[in-house]
Structure 1
């Protein structure tokens, strides 16, 4: 469910019309609904509680690292799952307490780990033996004891896109589950480390409950073995991955997901961490764009919009589907015709949809790309020297720009000319 609806023939975000925002900030822009974010968090939290789980929801900041988004969730009680020092600093700046932050990621640097130790976060998820040794060295030097989890690679196929599958043995993430017992023995012996948790994340945009159950059952067996070895496992970090409907998919409900956790792991006496990203913010965001022109080609019609692949990478990167709707509600009598919806970037890959039925549009009309709240602005770039698009948050009948569009001058000012390209004459 989301809070984007037509009212009197015009698309609204909660109580604010999309054309009103477009007139104020220009297009393209991202628009987020506070009410949708809050509802998705609440449904998940209530589902976990109803299943009898002592659970903490740590928002996966990589899905949408905007401070206003993170703070909205933090005020509801969410923690944060971060994968870089930048995300950790953002979570802290947004008001997430350090004791509700988990640091994941396969390539954490020495400086990043040192900052995490200094910040006093809840848990660091270790993904290799060299990282374990480095963390012990840093913790000992800082005079700290750090609670850690070993990220397990359970070799489970998540049945999702190959580029967002993370739990198979050929993926770069985690430690192969058959070696985890050995690595926990190393962790128990190292100074400065307190191994208290097991972590696992098998992929993103899962639309079936089966892979979760398979991974959870492997974790269950592993916890029992580790406890028999003397490791005091108190927490289970189950990652995220529950999908959202982009194109008619029917992912498991939060209640079904919580039920699967309770049925497979609920009697172990562990607290649970879950790290959803897309589930909380995907349906809470739109990308709003203007039609630049309609171009008739030799074999098809192109609707050229002012948003581009640098603003929303998912279609170019994953062949991902986003529903596209006009902001002005089309009449039921108007026949949709197949068009290619494309952006202005000089690549054929800058195509959002091919032969997608769309009501007739003309230059200046507004279109929205649905389910764009996750991995939209987060993955944007300035390719073709295009400014990053602004982000807007709506709350009831109010809206605010929560990331501004930089000017061309501000973009260019980040570059520096070397001294040998100076225009100052040298007397030659």
Structure 2
């Protein structure tokens, strides 16, 4: 909190009278957290960063030396990775890939393509034949379940993702008949923002069991089981986070039991695509209070920002953590508006009743000119927000490389 406060106060000193809004990324925290993820994964597991959580080039660059590679969901994301690194391993997923995306993904030397349907499988084979190369693929499986619940369900319920579990045998046989694809395994990504560590480990065990069953039945080399991401952030109760230590301990036991007497070379590598869990804690969204008003007995704080900067609380309908950075300077000749020991609804500048960042948030003290800071904003913050709404200004971006230094980077 002190380092974030220093960034805000330093900027306010240099820009008196200008309202503040910014994302602040702590790359030191990011690398420490990612390194912990990698170091604690059991043998036979590998970590990829899913860049849809935050595709800022500085984030990608910071993770180059930590992650095994990057998971992308579009050609644009693949190109962002290649702008940072020509050699980083890339796995490419997502429904509805166009021919152009498939062709250029292969030209960019992606390591694996997640194939989402038998029709897509045929198109990958056709394009790879035209390019005279072999495409390494994973079949994405839409499991029937039952599966545990997350904030978003991609499997266990009808959805647009992957191939129905009942149709996987047909897809395997089709892949084996295609001369320009090599079936390397399966991709399972069933839910998002899951908070139960033991259930999550058991779900990964189910993935491995299903993949090994199909391997045994159809007699192909199973190189990878991609368990996707889905590890959650408990935004409303940060004091009770996803129990990563229990998860990796249980996962290690499951891998050991499943591997049994198999030679290590015959057991698949388990891939993880952690996005939110990797990058959420390194980011902060901060917006200055422009106005405080009382309407019908309720109090509203209007900030220099809103959902066009930080859509996450509105999109996920959760209470996001926040804190106040007091700012003592006040450029006007009249008294500041302020409230004490009252609930406040925090709203933005979008001309929409939906532009609400927090409802009835208890405030000990809040003044116009103070800055509200939302931690755990590093994932799905700027990247999913309505940037173009009403042509409002974009926030600034500050990137912290060391605990005591913070560099401003160009606004997006």
Alignment TM-score > 0.5, same fold:
yes
Question: Residue 321 of structure 1: CA displacement?
Answer: 2.1
Equivalent residue number for residue 42 of structure 1:
35
Structure 2 matches for 1:2-81, cutoff 5 A? 5-6=1-2, 12-13=3-4, 16-21=6-11, 27-48=20-41, 51=42, 53-81=43-71
Cα distance in structure 2, aligned partners of 1:294 and 1:310: 20
Question: Residue 394 of structure 1: CA displacement?
Answer: 0.6
Question: Residue 306 of structure 1: CA displacement?
Answer: 0.9
Cα distance in structure 2, aligned partners of 1:311 and 1:209: 31
Q: CA contact under 8 A between 2:153 and 2:190: conserved in structure 1?
A: yes
Q: Specify every segment of 5 or more residues in structure 2 that has no aligned partner in the other structure, as ranges.
A: 260-266, 329-338
- Secondary structure at the residue paired with 1:359? strand
Deviations 1:152-174 (A, max 9, x none): 1123444222xx22122312111
- Secondary structure at the residue paired with 1:361? strand
Q: Specify every segment of 5 or more residues in structure 1 that has no aligned partner in the other structure, as ranges.
A: 7-11, 406-428
> Structure 2 length normalisation: TM-score?
0.88
Equivalent residue number for residue 270 of structure 2:
272
Q: Tell me whether 1:352 sits opposite 2:350 in the alignment.
A: no
Question: Residue 36 of structure 1: CA displacement?
Answer: 1.3
Question: Residue 210 of structure 1: CA displacement?
Answer: 4.6
Cα distance in structure 2, aligned partners of 1:43 and 1:120: 28
Q: CA contact under 8 A between 1:160 and 1:204: conserved in structure 2?
A: yes
Question: Residue 212 of structure 1: CA displacement?
Answer: 2.4
Q: CA contact under 8 A between 1:242 and 1:251: conserved in structure 2?
A: no
Deviations 1:404-427 (A, max 9, x none): 25xxxxxxxxxxxxxxxxxxxxxx
Cα distance in structure 2, aligned partners of 1:284 and 1:177: 37
Equivalent residue number for residue 391 of structure 2:
385
Relative to 1, partners in 2 of residues 1:108 and 1:297: Cα closer, same or farther, differing over 3 Å? Answer: same
Question: Residue 254 of structure 1: CA displacement?
Answer: 2.4
Deviations 1:268-324 (A, max 9, x none): 422121100111111111111000011011120111111111111122222122112
Q: Tell me whether 1:175 sits opposite 2:163 in the alignment.
A: yes
Cα distance in structure 1, aligned partners of 2:157 and 2:110: 29
Question: Residue 384 of structure 1: CA displacement?
Answer: 1.1
Equivalent residue number for residue 413 of structure 1:
none
Q: CA contact under 8 A between 1:155 and 1:169: conserved in structure 2?
A: yes
CA RMSD of aligned residues (A): 2.2
Moved more, 139-148 or 15-24: 15-24
Aligned match for 2:346, one of 341, 347, 355: 341
Cα distance in structure 1, aligned partners of 2:87 and 2:79: 11
Cα distance in structure 1, aligned partners of 2:314 and 2:13: 28
Cα distance in structure 1, aligned partners of 2:325 and 2:272: 35
Aligned match for 1:130, one of 95, 108, 119: 119
Question: Residue 340 of structure 1: CA displacement?
Answer: 0.7
Equivalent residue number for residue 395 of structure 1:
401
Moved more, 209-218 or 355-364: 209-218
- Secondary structure at the residue paired with 2:237? coil
Relative to 1, partners in 2 of residues 1:159 and 1:143: Cα closer, same or farther, differing over 3 Å? Answer: same
Runs of 4+ with >6 A deviation: none
Deviations 1:238-271 (A, max 9, x none): 1111112311153433222223333333444221
Equivalent residue number for residue 97 of structure 1:
87
> Structure 1 length normalisation: TM-score?
0.85
Cα distance in structure 1, aligned partners of 2:120 and 2:283: 36
Aligned residues: 386
Moved more, 151-160 or 135-144: 151-160
Q: CA contact under 8 A between 1:158 and 1:211: conserved in structure 2?
A: yes
- Secondary structure at the residue paired with 1:304? strand
Equivalent residue number for residue 415 of structure 1:
none
Q: Tell me whether 1:314 sits opposite 2:296 in the alignment.
A: no
Cα distance in structure 2, aligned partners of 1:190 and 1:367: 56
- Secondary structure at the residue paired with 1:275? strand
Question: Residue 54 of structure 1: CA displacement?
Answer: 2.6
